A and B are shown apart, each in its own frame.
Chain A
Amino acid sequence: MGAKDLERLRRHWNKQARHYDRQMTFADRKFFGDTRQWICGQASGDVLEVALGTGLNLPWYPGGVRLTGVDLSPEMLEHARRRAADLGREVDVRVGDAQRLEFPDSSFDTVVSTYSLCAVPDERAAVEEMWRVLRPGGTLLLADHVVSTSAPVRLLQRLVELVSVPVGGENFRRRPIRHVRALGFTVERHERFKLGIVERLAARKPAA
């Protein structure tokens, strides 16, 4: 992953910022259901959201959490900041790379990431970074579209990737839960629906 690729991705997401909410609200209604509520409702303490985007999760966090958000795209973060202000929420935002987070080890009680690992070039590196910045006993909350359990849908996903990967680096056949388990997280809650396309999980980093 060179600097040029990262810059290209950033430009892609800067361009998406304006239309992202409309597309995503549609996807939320059609596919993801109550996933934002499900994820954010389990967050507590010092929370890091990786790939905060336009902040579509912001309304769903409990009142007491202290929120920090990272995104590759400053334009996305501009939307998130406005949304936070409208909601009367405090959120610290900064431009960063999910594959190289800018926090010391063991900084957060909860790490959240929704619909982002599909678009991070090296999603395993991103999950490793989430592990690193989580405190022992901390919670990882992930949701994404993943490879379907249905063969015809898998074929379709493969075809879509022929376009979506070169255009926006978006993958449709990943399973982040494999990296989560391989790193040593304990998966405590796990749901998969819509022909296995939507997967959400809560996992704990073992206490020291």
Chain B
Amino acid sequence: MAVTLDAQLLEILACPAPDHAPLRTGTPDDPSADALTCTSCGRVYPVRDGIPVLLLDEATTPESDEPRSDGA
């Protein structure tokens, strides 16, 4: 199931990191993945059971080697 968030909701969704930059749906590699990606810092946040998990500790950073939680 791809992330289905309406435009209005995406407008108020931002990265919890201090710059609070906007998020984009999907990952850089897979725009239809169950995830949200920060347009500034590149952190990828998982979406589990349709609920975005916007915790810094749960995010995958672009340079980290941790497995992606989006199943991509």
Please list the residues of chain A having a beta carbon within 8 angstroms of any beta carbon in chain B: 3, 6-7, 46, 68, 72, 74, 77-78, 81, 92-97, 100-105, 107
For the residues of B in contact with A, the DSSP-based class is mixed
Q: A6-B57, A7-B57, A92-B9 are in contact. Are A100 and B16 (CB under 8 A)?
A: yes
Q: Which of B15, B48, B51, B57 contacts A102 (CB 8 A)?
A: B15
- Residue from A72, A95, A107 with most neighbouring chain B CB atoms (10 Å): A95
Interface size of B as a range: 10 to 19
For the residues of A in contact with B, the DSSP-based class is mixed
CB-CB under 8 A from A96, the residues of chain B are 16, 54-55
Q: Least Cβ distance of B25 to chain A in Å?
A: 13
Complex Cα distance A100/B9, Å?
Answer: 18
Q: A3-B57, A100-B56 are in contact. Are A94 and B51 (CB under 8 A)?
A: yes
Contact check, B57 vs A74: say whether CB atoms are below 8 A apart.
no
CB-CB under 8 A from B58, the residues of chain A are 95
